[in-house]
A and B are shown apart, each in its own frame.
Chain A
Amino acid sequence: MRQSIRIALLSGGVCLVGTTTLAQVNVGITVSQTGPAAALGIPQKNSVAQLPKEIAGQKVDYVVLDDATDPTKAVANARKMIAENKIDYLIGSSATPATMALVDVAAETKTPYCAMVPSKAVVDPVDEKRKWTFKAPQNDAIMAESLAEHMAANGVKSVAFLGFTDGYGQGWLEEVEKAMPAKGIKITAVERFQRTDTSVTGQVLKILASSPDAVLIAASGTVAVMPQKTIKEQGYNKPIYQTHGVGTMDFVRVGGKDVDGTVFPAGPVVVADLLPDSHPSKKVGLEYIKAYEANNKTPFAVFGAHLADCMSIAANSVKPALEKGKPGTAEFRSGLRDAIETTKELPATHGVYNYSPTDHAGLDNRSRVLIKIVNGKWTLLP
C-alpha cells in the first residue's frame, strides 16, 4: 500500500509540477465537454484557440479542463488549476450547478472568476462571496422581458410554458413567472420535459388544453425541436417562442420547416451579420465568428462567444492590474478584480459591459435582439 501510494503520488507529481511558469498571465477554464451540457461545453472549448495569446505585453497561457457537467469535478478542476497552474483568472463552467459551486472557490482563493451561465443568482446580490465573480451572459430576465414585450405588442394575452426539467428550464420559468404577469400576460400551463425524452405528447396536449395564445419552449439545442414539432402536429398555429438556447444553426437544420416563424431572443452575436453597422457588438461579433469558423471548420454556436466575452472583460483590465502586481501574485489577481469591476462601455459579442460594485451582470438591453426564423433563415426583429 505504502509503495502504491508513493508510486501514485510520485507519478502524480511528475505530471503536475513543472507546468507552473511565472511572469505570464494564466487563465484557467473548466467547461463541460461531456455530460448533459456537452452541447454548450464543446463550442466553448473550441473557442479557446482564438483567444488572445498576448495582452498588454504579457504572454497569456490557457489551461482547459473538462468537468463532464459534474460540479464536483468542476471544483476539483478549479482547485487544481489554482494550485498547480497558479491561474490569475478562472472561467467556467457550462451549467449552473457547477458554476454556483465555483463562486465559492473563487471567493475562497481570491481568484477573479467569470461565469458563463445566465442564472442571476450567480452574481446577485454582490456580497463578500460573489465579489470575485462576474457574469458574461445576459440575465434570463433580460431575455424573458424582451419576449414578454414582443408578446404584449402582438396581442398575446396568455402563454403556456414548456421547459427542460433541469436548471435551464427552471431559471427560465422563474423569470417568465415575473416577466409575463408584468406585461399582463397570463401563464396558462407549466409543463416540463427531459432532454432525453422521446415524446412530449402528454405535455403538449395538456398545454394545448389550456388554450394559450402562445407557447414558450425553454430548451436548448436541437432537443428544442421535438416539442415544437409535436405542437405543430397537434394543429396548433399560434405563435411559438423559444429561448436563446436555440441560437445555433443546428436548431434550424434539425427543425426544418417546423420551426419556421419561431421567435426567440438571443445575444447580438447570433445575428452579427444582420446587425446595423452602428451596433456595438457587430464588429467584435463578426471577428469572433470568422475566427471560430476558420479554426473549427464548423458553424459557430452562441455558447462559445460567452468565453470570448469573458476574455474581453479580463483583457481590458490586465493593464491596470499590472500596476498592482505581477501575474501570479495575489496583488495582480485582486487588481484584476478591481479593474474588471470598473469596466465601462466595453463592447463584446453579446453586448456592452458596464460593471459596478453592485452589478456584476453588466449587460443591458443592448445585449439582446429578437430573432425570427423565416424560411430557414434568421431575421432580425426590430
Chain B
Amino acid sequence: MNSTIALFLLQDGVINGAIYALLGVTLVLIFAVTRVIFVPQGEFAAWGALTLASLESGATPGTALLLVVLGVSAAVVETIRERASMRPARLGVMAVRDVAMPIALLLIVSTIAPTKPALWLSVLLTLALVVPLGPLVYRLAFQPIADATVLTLFIAAIGVHFAMIGLGLIFFGAEGFRNEPFIAGVFPLGPLMFKGQSLVILAATAALLAALWFFFEHSMLGKALRATAINRLGARLVGIPTRATGRIAFALAAAIGALSGTLIGSLTTISYDSGFIISLKGFVAAIAAGLASYPVTVVAAIGVGVLESFAAFFASAYKEVIVFSLIIPLLIWRSLVTAHHDEEEE
C-alpha cells in the first residue's frame, strides 16, 4: 500500500461517507422530532434511485401508484379515526391533497414517462413522487402511536421496512438499475481521478447540510421542529402542532433520501434491497452522535465511509464485520456518556 492508494481509498471513503452523512443526518432529524429510529430511511434512497431509473427507461414507476394507494388509505383511515371531530374543511383538504393530487401526478407521470423526459425533469418527477410518501408513511404508521416508547416506534419502523422492501421488489423487480450521471466524465486532481458524479455528491451533500442548518437556525418552521425535538409537550403547549412537525420531518427525510438515491444511483447499481445496509451505516454515524448532533453525525459518517473503504482494501471478506463490530465500543461509550437515561417504562 502506498500513498496514492491511500489517497484513493480516502477519496472513495469520503464520497461514500457523504451519502451516509445525508442519511445519518436524516435519521437524527427524524429521531429528534418524532423519536422514531427510522430504519427504512435507506428505502427512500433506493426508491429515489429506482424511480429515476424507471423514468429514464420510459416506464411509469410503481411509486406513482403507491402514492395514490397510500394517499387514499391515509385519507380513509384518518376520516374513520377522527370521524367525531372531522370538519368539512379538513375533509376537503384531504380529498385534494391525498386523493386528487396523487391521481393527477399518476396521470402526469404516465403521460410524460414514455417520452423519456430530460434528466432534470425526471429528477423533479422523482422527488414529486417520493417526497409525499414520507409524510404518508408517518401518518399511517407512526402518528397513531406517536406517544409510544422509542422501542415500540423502532419495531414499527422495522415493520415499515419490511413492507417497503416487499413493495420495492414488486415495483422495480429483483435486478438492479443504474442511473445516468448528472455530470459524466472524470477530472484529474493531482494523482487522483474525480468522477464528475462524485463531485456532484460532495457538492450536493454540502449544500443540503448547509440548507438544513439554515432551515433549523433561521426559519420559523425549523425552529418549531427544534422546539419539538427538545420538548414535545412544551412545544405543544406553546402551540406548535406536533403532528405537523412529524409530517414535516418525514417529508424532509423522504426528500433527502430520494435525493441521495438519485445521487448514488449513477455511482453504483441500486436494487430494491440496497437501502437497508446503506441506512444501517448512516445509523452507525447517527449513533456515534448520540442521535443528537448533526455535525458529529457528518464527521462520523465520513469516518465510517473511510473505515469501510480501508477495510475493503485490507480484508474485504470481513468488511461488514469490521465496520459493525466497531459500533459496539462506540455504543458503550455513548451509554456511559448518557447514563441514567434508561429509566423508561411503558
Q: How far is the CB of B196 from the nearest CB of chain A, in Å?
A: 11
Q: Does B317 contact A (CB under 8 A)?
A: yes
- A202, B313: Cβ atoms closer than 8 Å: yes
Q: When the two chains form the complex, which single residue of B166, B186, B267, B320 contacts A199, counting CB atoms closer than 8 Å?
A: B267
Q: How far is the CB of A230 from the nearest CB of chain B, in Å?
A: 9
State the 5 A-B residue pairs at the shortest beta-carbon distance, nearest first: A202-B312, A202-B313, A38-B174, A201-B12, A222-B176
- B316, A196: Cβ atoms closer than 8 Å: no
Q: Does B319 contact A (CB under 8 A)?
A: yes
Q: Does A188 contact B (CB under 8 A)?
A: no
- B175, A196: Cβ atoms closer than 8 Å: no
User: Taking CB as reference atom, which chain A residue is nearest B195?
Assistant: A233
Residues of B contacting A201 in the complex (Cβ-Cβ under 8 angstroms): 8-9, 12, 309, 312
Write the A221-233 contact mask toward B (1 if CB under 8 angstroms, else 0).
1110110000001
Residues of B contacting A42 in the complex (Cβ-Cβ under 8 angstroms): 173-174
Q: How far is the CB of B175 from the nearest CB of chain A, in Å?
A: 5
- A196, B317: Cβ atoms closer than 8 Å: no
Q: Does A342 contact B (CB under 8 A)?
A: no
8 A-B residue pairs with CB within 8 Å: A39-B174, A165-B317, A192-B316, A196-B277, A197-B312, A221-B175, A223-B176, A234-B193
Write the A324-364 contact mask toward B (1 if CB under 8 angstroms, else 0).
00000000000000000000000000000000000000000
Write the A163-207 contact mask toward B (1 if CB under 8 angstroms, else 0).
001000000000000000000000000011110111111110110
Residues of A contacting B177 in the complex (Cβ-Cβ under 8 angstroms): 222, 254
A225 to B195 Cα, complex, angstroms:
17
Residues of B contacting A36 in the complex (Cβ-Cβ under 8 angstroms): 273
- B175, A205: Cβ atoms closer than 8 Å: no
Q: Does B16 contact A (CB under 8 A)?
A: yes
User: Taking CB as reference atom, which chain B residue is nearest A202?
Assistant: B312
Chain B: interface residue total (CB-CB under 8 A) = 40
- A191, B316: Cβ atoms closer than 8 Å: yes
Indicate whether A226 sits within 8 Å of B175 (C-beta atoms), given known contacts A198-B274, A202-B310, A233-B186. Answer: no
A199 to B273 Cα, complex, angstroms:
16
Residues of B contacting A196 in the complex (Cβ-Cβ under 8 angstroms): 273-274, 276-278
Interface positions of B from 217 to 256, Cβ below 8 Å from A: none
Residues of B contacting A223 in the complex (Cβ-Cβ under 8 angstroms): 176, 269, 271
Max count, chain B CB within 10 A of own CB: residue among A34, A42, A199: A199
- A205, B313: Cβ atoms closer than 8 Å: yes
A42 to B271 Cα, complex, angstroms:
14
Residues of A contacting B278 in the complex (Cβ-Cβ under 8 angstroms): 196, 198
Q: When the two chains form the complex, which single residue of B19, B174, B317 contacts A198, counting CB atoms closer than 8 Å?
A: B19
- A199, B269: Cβ atoms closer than 8 Å: no
A165 to B316 Cα, complex, angstroms:
9
Beyond contacts A42-B174, A191-B316, A205-B5: 4 other A-B pairs, Cβ-Cβ < 8 A, are A202-B310, A209-B1, A222-B175, A225-B176
A234 to B1 Cα, complex, angstroms:
16
- A194, B277: Cβ atoms closer than 8 Å: yes
Residues of B contacting A193 in the complex (Cβ-Cβ under 8 angstroms): 312, 316, 319
Q: Does B169 contact A (CB under 8 A)?
A: yes
- A203, B313: Cβ atoms closer than 8 Å: yes
Residues of A contacting B15 in the complex (Cβ-Cβ under 8 angstroms): 199
Q: Does A262 contact B (CB under 8 A)?
A: no
- A221, B169: Cβ atoms closer than 8 Å: no
A39 to B173 Cα, complex, angstroms:
8
